[in-house]
Amino acid sequence: MFALYLRDVRLALRSGSGTANALAFFLLLVLLVSLGVGPGREGLAAVAPGMIWVGTLLSCLFSLDRMFVPDHDDGVLEVLVTGPAPVEGIAAAKALAHWTTIGLPLTAASPFFAYLFSLPAGAYPWLVLSIAMGTPALSFIGMFSAALTFPLRRGSLLLSLLVLPMYLPTLILGVQTVKLAAVGASMLPVLLFLGGVTLIAVAATPFAAAFALRANLG
């Protein structure tokens, strides 16, 4: 399982995939939004929490269909499932590798994006914390949806439709945390709810994904 995690992390860090794509996508979004909203720090600061979270969410979403599809096409997935590791472990390793290569770099880059969006300085730590706490949910829920849809040709549309409603709680709670922090209000209850969603996702999705993987490979 750990071997699979390391393999996936290494593959995602190689050129032309995963991490670089997600960060490039985010930068593009920042550029386009700042051009679209127009100059003026107030306008940007008002949309900053929402845009940073939407960017994080979309970066996660667009990398999901690479999670199982290439391995399935190469025949690696059936080997993984028939190997010594429990299928739940394989699912968790995949999600964890996704978080390490997408969620973690986005968390690390979020102060930079917040600066580009002129987010009030007091909200920085809470932004980083909320993204660090929210992205594991995005990876694990996304992994479950990817496990449902990977055998379908052109399954990414279905994947997006499936995953979006499940991403909503994380998005709403994440944005709310940052918004409250930006105006100096108490955001702790919202942040704790965000953590709760993540814990549920991390605990439940590997089992659900294992069922989906077995059903899809059989």
Q: Which is nearer to other proteins, 47 or 88 (CB)?
A: 88
User: Measured from the CB of residue 90, what is the shortest distance to other proteins in angstroms?
Assistant: 10
> In whole angstroms, what separates CA 217 from the centre of its chain?
25
* Residue 10 burial (C-beta neighbours within 10 Å; 0-12, 13-18, 19+): exposed
**What sign does the dihedral 71-66-99-215 (CA atoms) show?**
negative
Site residues (CB under 8 A) for other proteins?
A: 2-4, 6-7, 11, 14, 70-71, 73-76, 78-85, 210-211, 214-215, 217-218
Q: Which is nearer to other proteins, 14 or 41 (CB)?
A: 14
**What sign does the dihedral 164-98-62-125 (CA atoms) show?**
positive
**What sign does the dihedral 52-55-59-64 (CA atoms) show?**
positive
User: Measured from the CB of residue 45, what is the shortest distance to other proteins in angstroms?
Assistant: 41
Q: What is the DSSP letter of 121?
A: G
Q: Which is nearer to other proteins, 50 or 70 (CB)?
A: 70
User: Measured from the CB of residue 54, what is the shortest distance to other proteins in angstroms?
Assistant: 30
| Integer Cα distance of 143 and 161 in angstroms | 14
Q: Which is nearer to other proteins, 2 or 115 (CB)?
A: 2
* Residues 6 or more apart in contact with residue 193 via CB below 8 angstroms: 173
The DSSP string of 170-182 is HHHHHHHHHHHHH
Q: Are 37 and 47 in contact (CB under 8 A)?
A: yes
User: Measured from the CB of residue 4, what is the shortest distance to other proteins in angstroms?
Assistant: 6
Q: Which is nearer to other proteins, 5 or 53 (CB)?
A: 5
Start-to-end Cα distance in the chain:
21
User: Measured from the CB of residue 68, what is the shortest distance to other proteins in angstroms?
Assistant: 13
Q: Which is nearer to other proteins, 124 or 211 (CB)?
A: 211
User: Measured from the CB of residue 175, what is the shortest distance to other proteins in angstroms?
Assistant: 36
